[in-house]
Amino acid sequence: MQSGIKGAGVSRLRSGLKDDLKVIRAAYRRAQRLRDSGDVSPRVEWLTDHFHRLESEGRNAVCDWENVPPLPEESGQIRIFALCRRLCREGKLPAQEELCRALSADHLSVWETQLLPLVLRTALIRQARESVQSEAGTVENTVQSLLALEEIDFEQVTQAVSETQRILLLDPAGIYPIMDPDTQAHYRERVAELALERGIPEAKTAAELLRRARDAGEGEERHIGFYLWPDGKPDRRRRLRGLLALILPPVLSLATALLSAVLSGRWYLFVFLFPLLWEIFLHPIQALFSYGIRPQPLPRMKFDGSVPEYARTLIVVSALLPDAAHASEMAAHLEDVYRANRQGALEILLLADYKEAAEPVCPSDEADYSAMQREIDRLNDQYSGGFLLAVRDRTYSGAQELFGG
């Protein structure tokens, strides 16, 4: 039967997992009674000694299945779960190499690959249920396999079995291979979303993205990720919602306060109602316009101890500008920051503010600035550049009746 994407299979599997835990709990209670009566057989000992491990793994799996997207099904079963059940016969988890070989020929989808730890854990819990229901069964293999699951490097498994991963690694810009695993997973998930939207296989979608990146000239268009959000609609929608979330609270507060003052004939009410209504409207409106929008993670790079030139980075240290006598102490702090992060193309900026004062300019300002600039120059001479200084002018604060940064 041809596999298809359906949503009911995930719900059925999660419900089945809850039933598995009920059966295991009932078997545990029976085993406790047997142990109390003097039964010290291996079957009873393994269940009573390791029940809490099974319970913990099962409860975590139930929670993890809650937000899983629809997965391919065959013959009414989630395909990857049926495959993992066959791989974990008698509760024995195959070694990592064997697991890779067994999965390589099945053309797993992105989500099937990324959910492998969860699916294997669920398959082992199902095996534990079947073991406790059998008179001669034992959970020994299942418990040992759950422990061994933590030793498998699933990032290596993904590299071996995911066709989408293999295609994305060919990124002409060379950026995707040095991204960290979480960012690579985010890219693969986006490929899966595009494939579902267009109704074509994931590998074909990834291959099309690769072709477009290879045909591009220089610059960011050679990065395969440039084409993962081709029309920018998600960004426009986010900007529109964000704009409305900023505008509506003051507008509604202003209109409501003004209307209340006019209708009551008490204009002073406007002064009291406006800030109060703003607080009342702010949180519900922000919650409304942020609902349904997933956080957009910032891609991270995985560098081997050094920041390359194309990813030049600025570290900003924000502080009050020290007086001339303490400029060397601030320089020592900047030097510590540099030593902790000095590998590669990065610069350190001291973004400083003058201390609050009754006037916008104080007599000591020039001396304080000059002393700090001399320390910055000294650091640049010592480390061949990389240190910057920016000092913001004072502005007047009506609330504090002072000038400050």
The pLDDT tens digits of the residues spanning 325-346 come to 999 999 999 999 988 887 788 8
What is the radius of gyration, based on Cα positions, of the chain? 31
Q: Please tell me what DSSP assigns to residue 400.
A: T
The pLDDT tens digits of the residues spanning 289-324 come to 887 776 666 666 666 667 777 778 899 999 999 999
Give the pLDDT score at 232.
Answer: 46
Q: Are 324 and 368 in contact (CB under 8 A)?
A: yes
The pLDDT tens digits of the residues spanning 115-135 come to 999 999 999 999 999 988 886
d(CA 245, CA 255): 16
Residue with tokens 């960011």: 220
Residue with tokens 């000038």: 403
Tokens, residue 330 = 């601030």
Q: Which residue has the higher pLDDT, 68 or 229?
A: 68
Give the pLDDT score at 231.
Answer: 52
The pLDDT tens digits of the residues spanning 27-38 come to 999 989 988 888
Q: ∠133-134-139 over CA atoms, to 5°?
A: 80
The pLDDT tens digits of the residues spanning 214-245 come to 998 777 788 898 888 765 444 567 778 888 88
Burial class from Cβ neighbours inside 10 Å (0-12, 13-18, 19+) for residue 42 reads exposed
d(CA 265, CA 118): 65
Give the pLDDT score at 294.
Answer: 66
Q: Count the neighbouring beta carbons within 10 Å of the beta carbon of residue 238.
A: 14
Give the pLDDT score at 258.
Answer: 92
Tokens, residue 298 = 């910032």
β-pair type (387-392, 395-397): unpaired
Whether residue 138 has pLDDT greater than 80 = no
User: In degrees rounded to 5, what are phi and psi of residue 391?
Assistant: -120, 125
Give the pLDDT score at 1.
Answer: 34
Q: Which residues are within 8 A (CB) of 93 and not within 5 positions of it... i.e. 6 or more apart?
A: 87, 99, 120, 124, 145, 148, 149
Give the pLDDT score at 77.
Answer: 85
Q: Which amino acid is at 173?
A: A
Question: CA 303 from chain center: how many Å?
Answer: 18
Tokens, residue 385 = 């550049």
Mean pLDDT of the chain: 87
Residue of 199, 189, 194 lying closest to 162 (CA atoms): 189
d(CA 330, CA 73): 62
Give the pLDDT score at 299.
Answer: 61
Residue of 161, 167, 166 lying closest to 206 (CA atoms): 167
d(CA 203, CA 192): 9
Whether residue 57 has pLDDT greater than 70 = yes
* CA dihedral of residues 321, 323, 328, 329 (deg, nearest 10): -70
Q: ∠113-116-122 over CA atoms, to 5°?
A: 150
Domain ranges, ordered by start, for the chain: 4-161, 163-227, 233-290, 309-404
Q: Count the neighbouring beta carbons within 10 Å of the beta carbon of residue 219.
A: 9
d(CA 10, CA 70): 6
d(CA 86, CA 81): 9
Q: Which residue has the higher pLDDT, 136 or 171?
A: 171
* Cα→Cα distances 212→109, 191, 205, 217, 227, Å: 22, 14, 11, 10, 8
What average pLDDT does the segment 366-389 reach? 93
